[in-house]
Amino acid sequence: MRHSSQPITLDPTQMRLGAGARRWAVVFAIIGVAGLAVSYFLGPMAGDEARKTFFHSYLVNFMYFLSLGLGSLFFVLVSHLVRAGWNATVRRIAEVIAWTLIPMVVPALVLLWGMNDLYEWSIPAVVEHDAILQHKASFLNPTFFTIRFAIYFIVWGGLSWWYLGRSVRQDSVGGVAISSGLERMAPLAMIAYALTVTLAAFDWMMSLSAHWFSTIYGVYYFAGSALAAFSLCAILTHRLKQSGKLGPAVNPVHFHDLGKLMFAFVVFWSYIAFSQYMLIWYANMPEETVFFELRQNTTWVFLSVMLLVGHFALPFLGLISRIPKLRPALLSLLGVWVLVIHWFDLFYLVIPASRPDGPAFNLMDVTCFVGLGGIFLALFIWRLAGVSLVAVKDPRLHESMELGHA
């Protein structure tokens, strides 16, 4: 592409959230703590049945906000892996969302606390009378589960800390050495990412029904996470652009490219979802069909159809044209829809284990969302307020800013 003769320049003083941003972080933190406190009193403090409901509601919302960090980490890693230049002006947002994976280890500890309420394989008395759980006990046992838990957060936290830290350092020192180092690390980082995300999905969600299994399950969770992260990046980029914080760093072509990634992962998620369903339906093996039997022969079928329409058909039709991709406000609306339906997708995966009769919503589904969502937003805003919104000395910055300018 031919670049303009008048190079685009940035005003570094514009590339900051401002002093008031961290006050909003404190507000969201207070909301988050209040939401979790209400959830605690509605759940573990209210008896055994409410306790079990609490942990399943908590798991849905924890996996939701974790997925935003994991999807954003994928965006960062794949950008360096393929040496992408177009996204240099929008990558910082993804880097900061990915950074939330570090402090998210604290709310993740609740999963260890509720292990016996979530996973029947963690109860010795149950395993003793179940031949299938005994066969899987070398992998599904509390000790190894906890070790893997620690490994996941060491990998995710280490990668997100390294990539954001080096990127922020480059804002001061400039040059190509830091970018080259991040690119060299990207292949191994991506392998570690793929393994840990897949196994975490197996551990934390698939093992809720330990007799059932699917080798596609981890890819399914990854596909939804990436789609949600691209959608969130598009929404946040639009909001920052509206507020005048990004200046000329971002133009409609950047939104067009984010929209193309959203469309690609709508198709990819749909392909993975169909592949999982088709292979299980075709094989017709009772130990595999039990997952879909519950979700088709009870009132859960309503949510199954909702996902077919809302997670595939509507975003597919909405994003297939270039028109919404070039209109940031419209793209953001589609992104909001994707984030909403992504939550219902995780609800569909987790909650049938505790509410097999149908998708009856519980107040704790809301309070856990408010609690973990408040904490997530507080962490994101607090960290974003301490860095430039754009990687101002990235060696590919001007390539990104010139995107679409003939």
Q: For the residues of 148-207, what is the DSSP string, one character each?
A: HHHHHHHHHHHHHHHHHHHHHHHHHH-SSHHHHHHHHHHHHHHHHHHHHHHHHHHHHTGG
Mean pLDDT is lowest, of 254-263, 341-350, 396-405, for 396-405
Mean pLDDT is lowest, of 14-28, 93-107, 179-193, 218-232, for 14-28
- Residue 6 pLDDT greater than 50, yes or no: no
What per-residue confidence (pLDDT) applies to 300?
94
- Residue 96 pLDDT greater than 90, yes or no: yes
pLDDT digits (tens, 9 = 90+) for 254-270: 999 999 999 999 999 99
What per-residue confidence (pLDDT) applies to 11?
64
- Residue 18 pLDDT greater than 90, yes or no: no
Q: Which domain holds residue 329?
A: 12-401
What per-residue confidence (pLDDT) applies to 373?
98
What is the average per-residue pLDDT within 175-188? 95
**Burial category of 342 from C-beta neighbours within 10 Å (exposed 0-12, middle 13-18, buried 19 and up):** buried
What per-residue confidence (pLDDT) applies to 1?
37
Instruction: Give a yes or no: residue 362 inside a domain.
Output: yes
Q: Which two tokens stand for residue 167?
A: 């990127």
Going from the C-alpha of 53 to that of each of 44, 203, 324, 403, the distances in angstroms are: 9, 19, 40, 49
Instruction: Give a yes or no: residue 356 inside a domain.
Output: yes
Pair 52, 42: CB distance under 8 Å: no
Return the percentage of the chain with pLDDT > 70, whole number: 96
Q: Which residues contact 25 (CB under 8 A, 6 or more apart)?
A: 377, 378, 379, 381, 382, 385
User: Which of 108, 126, 335 has its CA nearest to residue 231?
Assistant: 335
Instruction: Give a yes or no: residue 231 inside a domain.
Output: yes
Q: Roughly what angle, to the nearest 10 degrees, separates helices 252-283 and 217-242?
A: 160
Q: Which two tokens stand for residue 127?
A: 């395993």
What is the average per-residue pLDDT within 31-51? 93
What per-residue confidence (pLDDT) applies to 174?
87
How many domains does one find in the chain? 1
What per-residue confidence (pLDDT) applies to 402?
83
pLDDT digits (tens, 9 = 90+) for 203-222: 999 999 999 999 999 999 99
**CA distance linking residue 326 with residue 324, whole number of Å:** 5
Count Cα neighbours of 227 within 13 Å in the Cβ-side half-sphere. Answer: 30
**Burial category of 337 from C-beta neighbours within 10 Å (exposed 0-12, middle 13-18, buried 19 and up):** middle
Q: How confident is the model at residue 360 (pLDDT cuts 50, 70, 90)?
A: confident
- Residue 246 pLDDT greater than 90, yes or no: no
Instruction: Give a yes or no: residue 277 inside a domain.
Output: yes
First to last CA, the chain: 7
Pair 10, 390: CB distance under 8 Å: yes
Instruction: Give a yes or no: residue 4 inside a domain.
Output: no
What is the average per-residue pLDDT within 55-59? 97
- Residue 379 pLDDT greater than 80, yes or no: yes
Q: How confident is the model at residue 13 (pLDDT cuts 50, 70, 90)?
A: low
- Residue 19 pLDDT greater than 80, yes or no: no
Instruction: Give a yes or no: residue 3 inside a domain.
Output: no
User: Which of 86, 221, 104, 83 has its CA nearest to residue 157?
Assistant: 104
